[in-house]
Amino acid sequence: MGVEICVEGLTKSFGHQVIWQDVSLTLPAGEVSVMLGPSGTGKSVFLKTLVGLLKPDRGSVTVAGRDITKLREHDLYEVRKLFGVLFQDGALFGSMNLYDNIAFPLREHTRKSESEIRRIVLEKMDMVGLLGAEAKLPGEISGGMRKRAGLARALVLDPEIILFDEPDSGLDPVRVAYLNQLIVDLNAQIDATFLIVTHDIASARQVPDNIGLLFRRELVMFGPREQLLTSDEPVVRQFLNGRMQGPIGMAEEKDAAQVEQELAQIREPTRTPGSRPLTPRLLPGPGITRPPRWEAIATREAELQRKEVTGA
């Protein structure tokens, strides 16, 4: 079962450059959350702060009842055992085959026998669809396979929290679709808490329970998927629709007067009932039981859609 992460008043800067400030949110235990934001808004910095690789200037990150910003290195090491991380490039060792890459955390951090390690490694490789590729080197396989190998390695210590740093980067749309389905299936099977940093809007619409958006050095919104997908917040609408008009500029945020002028010129149709339907959510694959929370989510989204259609 996943654990809840409670973030309160988190602020991080490098020198005089403030990355983000006063970020507060709760990542619900066992749910999938996505963090969106334009390039340069500090999404990856946020992930590294959650796992204690970077220390914030202010604020707290409470994991399993412990504020990791105040822990000594030894205690922080123990809390980090709750985490698994999938880095952008998979972070595999080029000289090791996939089996040894995935076995590495078990050999490094446990005293398990090689027979037990083999059982765990093959189990995780099976979960991500890599059985039969144990002897291959990272340079011999596709980017999508490297991502799956990195995910298998993140799973071997049975983490209660899994962080994904732009898992879709460098993948074509078909591989992204397969990876999204794998993420949904894994969450249904292991019930860990997932946080995904991504630029991919299609993934953000289909995969998570919750969505957050970082912009202008702050957390604009964080909440249930349907809340952001139906939001009228200008920066949320601009980002989700991938258009130029709005607060987000090429290099940085735009002047307020310019934003106001652009938004006035957008000929977006007046909201009418049913004009903003929710993208259908990805369901776990055949034979995988849906987590109990899915019934409540489905009921909530169905009610929202009913209100959209009827205008009630």
pTM of the model: 0.86
The span from the CA of 124 to the CA of 152, in Å, is 5
Please give the biggest Cα pair distance in the chain. 66
Instruction: Mark 257-270 as b/e (b = at least 16 C-beta within 10 Å).
Output: eebeebeeeeeeee
pLDDT averaged per 10 residues, the chain (length 312): 92 93 96 90 91 94 94 91 84 92 94 96 94 94 90 94 90 89 92 91 91 91 90 85 76 50 49 61 86 78 69 59
- Residue 165: other Cβ atoms inside 10 A: 19
Q: Phi and psi (nearest 5°) for 263?
A: -65, -35
The span from the CA of 146 to the CA of 185, in Å, is 18
Parallel, antiparallel, or unpaired: how do β-strands 210-215 and 32-36 relate? parallel
At 265 the three-state DSSP class reads helix
Predicted local distance difference test score (pLDDT) of residue 311:
61
Predicted local distance difference test score (pLDDT) of residue 83:
94
Output the CA–CA distances (angstroms, integers) from residue 158 to 25, 96, 161, 276, in the order listed. 25, 22, 9, 39
Q: Are 3 and 159 in contact (CB under 8 A)?
A: no
The span from the CA of 103 to the CA of 153, in Å, is 7
Residue 123's H or E segment, with its range, is helix 114-127
The span from the CA of 210 to the CA of 199, in Å, is 15
Burial category of 174 from C-beta neighbours within 10 Å (exposed 0-12, middle 13-18, buried 19 and up): exposed
